[in-house]
Amino acid sequence: MTSCLLSWIIFTPLLMAVILFLLPKAWEQHFRSWALIASLANLLLSLKLWYGFDGQIGGFQFIEILPWIPSFGISYALGIDGISLPLVMLTAVISPIAILGTWPKAGNPLKKERFFVAMVLLLQTGMYGTFLATDLFLFYFFWEIVLIPMFFMIGIWGGKERVYATVKFFLYTMVGSLLMLVAIFYLVRTQQEVTGVPSAIMTNFNSVKIPLDQSSWGAALASPQMLLFLAFALAFVIKVPMVPFHTWLPDAHVQAPTLGSVFLAAVLLKMGTYGLMRVAIPFFPQSAAMLSPFFYALGIIGIIHGALCALGQTDFKRLVAYSSVSHMGYIIVGLFSFEKVALSGSLYQMINHGISAGGLFMIVGFLYERMHTRNLADFGGLAKVVPMMAVAFMIITLSSVALPGTNGFVGEFAILIGSFQVAPVVAAVCGLGVILGAVYALKAYQMVMLGPVSGHEGVQHLYDINAKEIAAMVGLAILVFGIGFFPEFFFAKSKATLEIYANGLVPFLK
């Protein structure tokens, strides 16, 4: 199995989804259990991958390559390095936690439960494939697969405005994806002209030098390298989402079912930053360096704008959605600093935000399932009624505000320290976002859990988190404090890859 371990990780959820459709309807009450079993199986496979991964090797490992469409240079090519490994592990850990934490109440299954579970499994296949593909066409294939289950999850099981949110989500992401596809075709054609053999494998593009005319801004913007960079970057920043392409995210989160929101915040947004780190920046470093001040500005705007919008929300779920816009801005700043510590911090923050944002959306889901409201004014004093939920909420809140000792501190501190070496003013302004983040996060906790007990009619029927929800929250708490106190254990396997990656960008450091 080791020789094709990556394929097993990618396609085990899909295989389980196919088997799911063969099960009789009488098993409907066990369909969610089937998804949990599949996610746990993938967690075991991912742990095997983790322990078999050699952290001293900076390149790709567990490589699988098979010809797919040779005439177009398309291969079934998989591989994993220190950049993709943490994201694969994040997906593997978050999946069972998310399924446990959003388990439907007994006797109240979702409509079309079989199809819902199948979409959850297909979503996992798309996420794993995106992080493990080393062929650009295969990367694009899995990137697009993710849209299908999210489209149905929001469109079928979403809220009252689900159609609007679904169409908006689909249109935004499809525009960027089409630009990326055109850029991939151009890259492969150029690679064929240079080497004589068509190939879309990522490592083969090191020998392809796309020109960038830096004689003037106008000449640079019209250069092939800059146009290719912008095509890839736009597809990725829409997924992040970076201001001003972020407006689809709050609508998608508010309308999506809780499980969809957890996957969207914890993993799907990281596909955008992963794409920047894996493709856009290393393929076109001159263009990325030239436009780094522009991305600094957009990253800062995202941090401040997202925090201020979160501060002004009355809908709990929309508040958490805008907090994601703010937190993802730090990753953008870290990536475009080209500085080793900041780059490491950006990778760490992808993982840490996945943990904290996923946890916050589960807390919102717990409350909505019990009280059928997300209006912050309807909450209050709930810590007296649901003390265990209050403890879980506080732990995730401390992670979100990057308190020292939690996982959030590791990523944000590294980004600020690293970017300060290159752009002190940028780092200082980003620090303001940390303060604003603490304000809106602690204000939300105060409004929900502290003060006098709310008079909302749902409070009298409110019950504390159950065994499955406790298991999910304990899993997140272990990650919050485990990464916070022992970050080296979690990220040592990425050091060699990040060292090579950062050294390759040194010539373009400003």
HSE value, Cβ hemisphere, 13 Å, CA-based, for 61: 20
Q: Check residue 325 and give its pLDDT.
A: 92
Q: Computed from CA positions of residues 50, 55, 60, 61, in that sequence, does the dihedral angle turn out positive or negative?
A: negative
How far is 495 from 503, CA to CA, in rounded Å?
A: 12
Quickly state the pLDDT bin for 205 (edges 50, 70, 90).
low
- Assess whether pLDDT exceeds 80 at residue 203: no
What is the SS3 string spanning 85-106?
A: HHHHHHHHHHHHHHHHHCCCCC
Q: Give the mean pLDDT of the chain.
A: 89
HSE value, Cβ hemisphere, 13 Å, CA-based, for 250: 19
Q: Check residue 504 and give its pLDDT.
A: 83
Is 396:476 a contact under the CB 8 Å cutoff? yes
pLDDT in tens, 74-97: 899 999 999 999 999 999 999 999
pLDDT in tens, 345-390: 999 999 999 999 999 999 999 999 888 889 998 898 899 899 999 9
What is the SS3 string spanning 352-367?
A: HHHHHHHHHHHHHHHH
Q: What is the pTM of this model?
A: 0.94
**β-bridge partners, 133:** 78
Is 358:262 a contact under the CB 8 Å cutoff? yes
Quickly state the pLDDT bin for 123 (edges 50, 70, 90).
very high
Q: Check residue 96 and give its pLDDT.
A: 95
pLDDT in tens, 277-320: 999 999 898 999 999 999 999 999 999 999 999 999 999 999 99
Is 138:77 a contact under the CB 8 Å cutoff? yes
Q: Check residue 206 and give its pLDDT.
A: 60
Q: Check residue 34 and give its pLDDT.
A: 86
- Higher local confidence (pLDDT), 359 or 194: 359
What is the phi/psi pair of residue 313, to 5°?
-85, 150
- Assess whether pLDDT exceeds 60 at residue 1: no
Q: Check residue 191 and give its pLDDT.
A: 78
Nearest to 156 by CA among 254, 29, 255: 255
Q: Specify the residue for token string 């149905």.
A: 152
Alpha helices in 450-466 (DSSP H): none
pLDDT in tens, 218-264: 888 888 889 999 999 999 999 988 888 888 888 888 888 999 999 99
What is the phi/psi pair of residue 244, to 5°?
-100, 20
pLDDT in tens, 208-220: 577 777 777 888 8
| High-pLDDT (> 90) share of the chain, % | 59
What mean pLDDT comes out for the span 161-179? 88
- Assess whether pLDDT exceeds 60 at residue 404: yes
Q: Check residue 141 and give its pLDDT.
A: 94
pLDDT in tens, 26-78: 776 778 888 899 999 999 999 999 999 998 988 899 999 998 888 777 899 99
Q: Check residue 187 and give its pLDDT.
A: 86
What is the phi/psi pair of residue 63, to 5°?
-70, 135
pLDDT in tens, 447-506: 999 988 877 777 877 889 999 999 999 999 999 999 999 988 888 899 999 999 888 877
HSE value, Cβ hemisphere, 13 Å, CA-based, for 106: 3
Q: Check residue 70 and give its pLDDT.
A: 83
